[in-house]
Amino acid sequence: MKMQALKELFRKVFGSAGNPVHVYFAPGRVNLIGEHTDYNSGYVLPCALTFGTYLLIRKTAGKDVKLASENFTYRATVPWEEIGKKHGSEWVNYPIGVINQLMQKGLEPTGMEMLFYGNIPNGAGLSSSASVEVVTAEAINDLTGLGLGKVDIVKLSQKAENEFVGVNCGIMDQFAVGLGKADHAIFLDCGTLDYELVPLALGEYKIVIANTNKKRGLADSKYNERVEECASAVKFLKKKKQLESLSDISFDEFSKIKPVIPDETVRRRAVHVISENQRVLDAVEALKNNNLEEFGRLMNASHYSLRDDYEVTGRELDVLSELARAQEGVLGSRMTGAGFGGCTVSLVHSSNIRVFMETVGEGYYEQTGLRADFYVSEIGDGVHRIE
């Protein structure tokens, strides 16, 4: 949707009189490697995309917060004293949860009219929720002069999703959305929040995202179950080593003491997280050495681990990634995001992209009865004000 059309929609929903309307944008994200490590204080390597969430916002004289979206029919007018109240499972819980967190940071009561528009595919696992959260926090912080830094915005956006929405996500999504940079990946230590911007010199290769179009609800999935299983693994490992998370132990150390975890399923969850951390370190080194073949190999290994040890892929993601790896000009392919549906990310030579999408799309439909959507992704900047 073009900006002029969004402004017309804003005037249609909220009227034309009043203060100036400001526009903010927050991207979606794709994680290149390092899956289900973020809530284990581990390493991740995401990047921001050039599609995401637009927020048109206007301050008003009253104390009501009015929320609407071009993507959803549900709208809400929330009196300031009811900001802490949930609206069932509706989308407005994401921005309302952020406003609730901003209140705890000193935000004074203020009226706002907010119109959201997102071009991130819903349910694709490309962080539409984090995009909504971060753009809300950035806009209100900027317009009210609250003075929060980008990392503060990232932290409170994650906290809103954990405590208000009820999803035990790690900080990776919000961090990539908030601090992404064009043509760079973010090598992030989720335990310390130390990060490094790593140039993505892909040459003739492109990042191609394929959406399974299998519907999934993150809050209803087994995501929270995996969080609990990892916590259980840490509890057992503490009998042999002092640690606070699965990221506090190397794979070699773990291999020596892993029998202390009696449950085989919990043990395999730990195997994935600890080996995935090492794959991220190796992937960063591969990028710095312009070794895209090794980077692709690590992507493949990541998918196998997520499939076999962490069990979060499912048939649709497995079919898409298997078909992708069989194509000419593909260096690697893996699921990205929480899993249980969502997307794969593949590294594809630019001369093969058209055939890749046609062949993989046809094979996927034949095996699943679903139509995949494909996006050739550019790497963009994090949250920012447009006007």
- Distance (Å) of CA 364 to CA 58, 272, 302: 45, 27, 21
**Among candidates 41, 35, 30, 40, which has minimal Cα distance to 276?**
35
Rounded-to-integer distance, Cα 81 and Cα 328, Å? 58
Q: How many CB atoms lie within 10 A of CB 371?
A: 11
Q: What kind and span of H or E run contains 54?
A: strand 43-60
**Alpha-carbon dihedral angle through residues 364, 309, 345, 197, given to the nearest 10 degrees:** 180
Rounded-to-integer distance, Cα 143 and Cα 99, Å? 13
**One of 173, 183, 189, 194 is an active-site residue; which one?**
173
Confirm whether 142 is a catalytic residue: no
Rounded-to-integer distance, Cα 373 and Cα 183, Å? 23
Rounded-to-integer distance, Cα 106 and Cα 197, Å? 31
Q: Which residues are catalytic?
A: 173
